[in-house]
Structures are given as structure tokens and as C-alpha cells.
Structure 1
Amino acid sequence: MSNLHYPQFCALARAAEIIGERWTLLIIRELLLGPRRFGDLLDHLDGMSPTLLTARLNALIDCNVVRRTVLPRPANAPVYELTEIGREVQPAIRELIRWGGRFLFPQVAGDTFEPDWVLLGLDAIARRTPVPDINIGLVVTHGKKSAGFTVAGSDSGTAIRKGIADCKGTLEAPFDAVLQIVGMRVPLQDAIAARRATVSGSLAAVRKLPLLFDLADRPRISPVAG
């Protein structure tokens, strides 16, 4: 169990005891993206020691937030994944990401970044109301790393999926440029002209990408265009 204890009979205090320890929220972030091997978690939690990761995972297992399991063949590898109780924290994580986005910039030198994390960030700013019925591909780059997503609009709102499938057009750009385009801080054509973004397929389809998010309504989440 966690060593953190608040001597208060309060549900928020209990939640903070479970997820308020240093690194715990970031472990949950990783597991919201899918089951992870211990080594994969360690690779994405730069600065965390194996001993501390083991302790945090064991505390989450004791609370029935995380469980150990084994991937089916041919992988046949031991992994950690969220339980149903653990996945129920996702709406709270979504709101924390929305709130934390206000403080995302300026970037801090030396901070690491994984393109896979963008899925949760995009989900946090996705519209939950009817949007254009369209699939748009998005490839987020960071150095030699990249991650591809399908941004799918419908009457139910916007959904984000791993991988690119059945997309009329695809935008490829680093994350800060994606935020500038989606937040309508920089016109798509200007980002392309500045070689900050490329588009394959339908340019008209990719121009609709900001309509699938509410970032343009939130003036402090996006970096200043420059």
C-alpha cells in the first residue's frame, strides 16, 4: 500500500493517497495507452529508478488499480495493465490534462517527450458534440520517433485511435506545430510553407482538423506562433 496518508475521512483524500505519490499519475498515463512491460514503463519514465517503479506498481496492485498479466502468444510477455477500477480514473485524468495544458509552455530544456502521449492529449481536447463526419490522419514526430493516429469525427463527437486507417488526408508535424494548427494559431498553409508540417492526401480534409477539437476556444493552451 502507499505510504501516503491524509488523516481525513474524505474521498478526495483517499484518491490522493492512491494516485498522489510522485510518478504514480505518469504510470497510469502509460497504462491508459495499453499494457506495458516493466522495461517499457521504465523507458518512458525517464528519471525513475527500477526500485521506485516496483514500489509504485506494487502499491497500485494492492489497491486493485493495476494487475500483472501475460500477453497472449506469440508475445507471451509479462505486462502490467489497468483493472476496470483503474480505468475509471480516465475522465479525471482527461480533465487534469485539459487543466495542465495551460502550463505546458514554454518547454523546459531537457524534458523528454514520447509521441504516443499525444493520444491522451488529443482525447482531452476532443469535442464531445457533433462534428464533421470525417477521418483525418495525424502523424506526430519528435526527432527520429513518431506516432500515427486517426482522428475520427461523427455525430457523437471526436474519437482518437492509434494507427491510421481510411483517412482522406494526413497531417505530419511535431507536437507544438500540431497544437498551433489545431488551435488555429497558425494557418495550415503557413505551417506547410514554413516546413513545419506536411500533408498527404486531401488538403481540404486536413483543414477541417481544428473543427474536431475545442482547443481554439482555450487561448492559453497553445504555444505562441513563431
Structure 2
Amino acid sequence: MSNLHYPQFCALARAAEIIGERWTLLIIRELLLGPKRFGDLLDHLDGMSPTLLTTRLTALIESNMVRRTALPPPVNAQVYELTETGREIQPAIRELIRWGGRFLFPPVLGDTFEPDWVLLGLDAIAKRSPAPEIRVGLVVTYGKKSAGFTVAGSDSGTTIQKGLTDCRGTLEAPFDAVLQIIGKSVSLQDAIDTKRVSVSGAMSPVRKLPLLFDLADRRRTNPHTQIDERKRT
């Protein structure tokens, strides 16, 4: 179990004992994106030692948050994945991401970034109310790395899935440009004209991408969610 203990009979204290250790929330972030091998986790947790990762995973397993399982042949690899109890933390993670977004910019020198993380970030600002029934491809780039997603609207809201599936139009851009477009602080045409983004396929569904998120609405009511253009990278 975790070495962290608060001598209080309080559900929040118990939750903090499980997820409050350094790196634990980021391990959960990785596993919310899917099962991971030990080496994959280590690659995406830059600065964490193998010994500490083992300690944190052991504590999460003992708390029934994570389990070890083996992938079937021909892979034959051991991976870590969230249990049902572990997956139930996702709504709380979503709200933490929404809250933490106001502190995201400017990037800190030396920070690492994985385009795969964008899935959870977009899910945190996705519409939970009826949205236009469109499918938009989104390719988030970072140096030589990239990750593709399908953003789909429906009567039940917006969903984001990894991979490009049946998308009439696709936006390719770095993450900060994506946030500016869906937050309506920069128009799609201006971003194209300055060569910060590119669009393939039909333009009309890509223009509707901001309608699949609530970021623009949140910015109108909370100025702290704005991205400072002067500090943008």
C-alpha cells in the first residue's frame, strides 16, 4: 500500500492516500489511454525511475486500482491496466484536467509532451450536450511525433476516439493551435494563412470543430481559461 497516510476518517483523505503520491496521477493518465507495458509507462513518465514506478504500480495493484495481465500470442507481453475501480476515477480526472487547463500555458522549458495525451484533454472540454452530427479528423503534431483522433458529435454530445475513421475533413496542427481554433481565439482561416495548421479533405466539417467543444463558452465566462497569445509557442 501507499506510504502516504492521513489520520482522518474522511473519504477525500482516503482518496488522497491512493492517488496523492508523486507520479501516481500520471500513471493513471497513461492507463486511461489503454493498457501499457512497464517500458511504455517509463518512456512516457520522463524523469521517473524504474524503482519508483515499480513501487507506485505495486501500491495501485494493492489498492485494486490496477492489475497485471498478459496479452495473448503472438505478443506474449505483460501489461498493466486499470480495474473497474480504477476506471471509475475518470470523471474526477476529467474535472482536474478542466481545472488545470488554466495553468497550462506558457509551457515550461524542458517539459515533454506526448500527442496521445490530447485524447484526455479534448475529452475534458468535449460537449456533454447535443452537438452537430459530424465527424472531424484531428492530427495533433509535436516535432516528429503525431497522434490522430476522430471527433464525432451526436445528440448525446461529443466523443473522441483514437485513430481516423470515416472523416470527411481533417485538421492537422500542434496542440496549442488546436486549442486556439476550438476556443475561437484564432480563426481557422487565419491559422491556415499563417501556415500553423493544414486541412485535408472537406473544409466545412473542420470549420464546425469548435461546435463540438465547450471551450469557447467557458472562455466567455472565465477569462482565466484564455491562452495568452504573447506567451504562445
Give 1:67's aligned amino acid. R
Alignment partner, residue 36 of structure 1: 36
Q: CA deviation at 1:224?
A: 2.8
Alignment partner, residue 91 of structure 2: 91
SS at match of 1:116: helix
Is 1:17 aligned with 2:17?
A: yes
Alignment partner, residue 208 of structure 2: 208
Within 5 Å, which residues of 2 pair with 1:29-108? 29-108=29-108
Q: CA deviation at 1:223?
A: 2.1
The runs of at least 4 aligned residues of structure 1 exceeding 3 Å deviation read none
Is 1:223 aligned with 2:213?
A: no
Could you tell me the TM-score, scaled by structure 2's length? 0.95
| Structure 1 contact 171–199 (Cα < 8 Å) conserved | yes
SS at match of 1:179: helix
| Structure 1 contact 105–222 (Cα < 8 Å) conserved | no
Whole-Å separation in 1 of the counterparts to 2:32 and 2:136: 22
Q: CA deviation at 1:168?
A: 1.2
Structure 1 gaps of 5+ residues are none
Q: CA deviation at 1:127?
A: 0.4
Whole-Å separation in 2 of the counterparts to 1:149 and 1:155: 20
CA pair 192-150 structure 1, distance change in 2 beyond 3 A: same
Q: CA deviation at 1:218?
A: 2.4
Could you tell me the TM-score, scaled by structure 1's length? 0.98
Q: CA deviation at 1:222?
A: 4.3
SS at match of 2:225: coil
Is 1:4 aligned with 2:8?
A: no
Within 5 Å, which residues of 2 pair with 1:94-173? 94-173=94-173
Give 1:41's aligned amino acid. L
Give 1:131's aligned amino acid. A
Give 1:87's aligned amino acid. R
Q: CA deviation at 1:106?
A: 1.0
Whole-Å separation in 2 of the counterparts to 1:147 and 1:78: 24
Whole-Å separation in 1 of the counterparts to 2:132 and 2:226: 23
Whole-Å separation in 1 of the counterparts to 2:37 and 2:193: 41
Any idea what the Cα deviations from partners look like across 1:153-191, whole Å, max 9, x if unmatched? 000100000000001100000000000001000000000
Whole-Å separation in 2 of the counterparts to 1:179 and 1:143: 17
| Structure 1 contact 180–225 (Cα < 8 Å) conserved | no
Give 2:205's aligned amino acid. A
Q: CA deviation at 1:74?
A: 1.9
Whole-Å separation in 2 of the counterparts to 1:49 and 1:32: 21
